[in-house]
Structure 1
Amino acid sequence: MAKTQSVRASLDKQPHEVASMFDGVARRYDLTNTVISAGQDRYWRWMTRRAIAPRPGEQILDLAAGTGVSTVELGKSGAWCVAADFSRGMLAAGRFRAVPMVAGDAMALPFADNSFDAVTISFGLRNVADIDLAMREMLRVTKPGGRLVICEFSTPVIPVFKTVYMEYLMKALPRVARAVSSNPDAYVYLAESIRAWPNQRQLGRRAADAGWAGVKWRNLTGGVVALHRGYKLGS
């Protein structure tokens, strides 16, 4: 059996490195996420859909959608949802899903101004080289009055739990990934990128600085994940 080439991005987040890394994990990406999150990924997707509250007839951009599993969840609402990701390997792995898919970079979205009623990005903003530029791009393609939901790993709010969680990230997560992932070294980067990520308040401030109004957040799973919400001024 041929071995899968080991690809791990560095924390400077060079786009070609990150895209190549995700191409390498695409084959078993969804399974690995479910295993390392102990099934919480399904709950986080459901809560993200609730936060977006998509309605029939709306147009929703699901950015960093990977294989499209999150886009399928959003589509249950009756809204028209498009999956966008800069890893062509991820999109190819999800091509069996009945959702439109577009290859695109979060820092230069291939969509016109004021195109979408809502834009969401789950567990992908952390992998963008310039997150402030990406949030401004998401603002550009959102209609006035439209909304943003960011679902991302964050900082646990219970001190004892935070300590246990950080130990899991750096030690147990890579071990679990070796058992199920097609590219386990990528999950070392995953753990490191989570530790280096801004906390809830810091990310909220940066979203507001990018132009999003009414930015608020909600912790999930004790702050392991946070949902940040905002909207674009205008009507």
Structure 2
Amino acid sequence: MAKTQSVRASLDKQPHEVASMFDGVARRYDLTNTVLTAGQDRYWRWMTRKAVAPRPGEQILDLGAGTGVSTVELGRTGAWCVAADFSQGMLAAGQSRGLPMVAGDATALPFADNSFDAVTISFALRNIADYDLALREMLRVTKPGGRLVICEFSTPVIPVFKTAYRTFVMKVLPMIARVVSSNPDAYVYLAESIRDWPNQRRLGRRVAEAGWAGVKWRNLTGGVVALHRGYKLGS
């Protein structure tokens, strides 16, 4: 059996630590996510695509795209979609998908102003140390009238489920990851980062403060995940 690489980031989320950690999980990242979520990851990707509502000919930025599995989902409607991530290992693991891929930092995106009809980021915003700056960068590269969709772990809204979910995240999730992941210690960070992340209302406030208009959110799977949406003023 191949020896796993043990790398994890801390909650101060230094970019080199986070990138190295995701390089370490890249080989089995998609499989691990499907196992840990009991297949819900596919549903969340589908709902994210519906929220983005990409149309043929539009240009969509999938930020924090990892191996590009979310980018493939977005492209099903005929939009031109580019996968961007700062983990070289994740992008390399997804090369076989034949997608446009760009290595880049979410806080200093390598794109011109007003480049995209929509920007979306799934399960990656909480891994960015200065996510307020990242939200402003997303606004910069979005065309006037364009839209933002964030898919991220959030706070369950059913009290009993909330307690059970916290137990799963902090205790069970890392145990399962040790069986299926190529870097199980990374999932200890994952659990901690979920616990430390703001709830739906507080995140919505931060999105609005970054300059996005009409910010709303929708809970998925009882609030385990939330979709936050907004748009850039102008036409």
Equivalent-residue separation in structure 2 for 1:219 and 1:2 (angstroms):
39
3-state SS in 2 of match to 1:76: helix
Aligned pairs for 1:159-174 within 5 A: 159-174=159-174
User: What is the match of residue 34 of structure 1?
Assistant: 34
The equivalences for 1:16-27 within 5 A come to 16-27=16-27
Query: Does the 8 Å CA contact 2:5/2:182 hold for their aligned counterparts?
Result: no
Secondary structure at 2:82 match in 1: strand
Cα offset, 1:5, TM superposition:
2.4
Q: Deviations over 1:84-103 (max 9, x none)?
A: 00000000000000210000
Matched, 1:194 2:210: no
Post-superposition CA distance 1:147-201 (Å, at most 9, x none): 0000000000000000000000011000100110000000000000000000000
SS in 1 for 2:177: helix
Gaps of 5+ in 1: none
Q: Which amino acid aligns with 1:98?
A: G
Give the whole-Å Cα distance in 2 for the aligned partners of 1:159 and 1:191: 19
Aligned to 2:70: 70
Residue segments in structure 2 that go unaligned for 5+ positions in a row: none
Aligned length: 235
Q: Offset of 1:4 from its aligned partner?
A: 2.7
SS at the partner of 1:38?
A: coil
Q: Which residue is equivalent to 2:49?
A: 49
Pair 1:153 & 2:153 matched: yes
- Correspondence for 1:178: 178
Moved over 3 A (4+): none
Query: In the aligned structure 2, how far is the partner of 1:25 from the partner of 1:37?
Result: 16
Alignment map for 1:77-156 (pairs within 5 Å): 77-156=77-156
CA distance in 2, matches of 1:30, 1:224: 19
Aligned alpha-carbon RMSD (Å): 0.6
Separation in 2 of the partners of 1:160 and 1:221?
A: 14
Letter in 1 for 2:14: Q
CA distance in 1, matches of 2:77, 2:2: 42
Q: How far apart, in 2, do the equivalents of 1:208 and 1:201 lie?
A: 11
The CA deviation at 1:2 is 4.7
Which residue type is aligned with residue 89 of structure 1? Answer: G
- Tell me the equivalent position of 1:11: 11
> Is 1:212 aligned with 2:204?
no
Q: CA deviation at 1:72?
A: 0.3
- 1:228 maps to a residue whose letter is H
Distance in 2 (CA, whole Å) between partners of 1:133 and 1:209 is 11
Identity %: 87
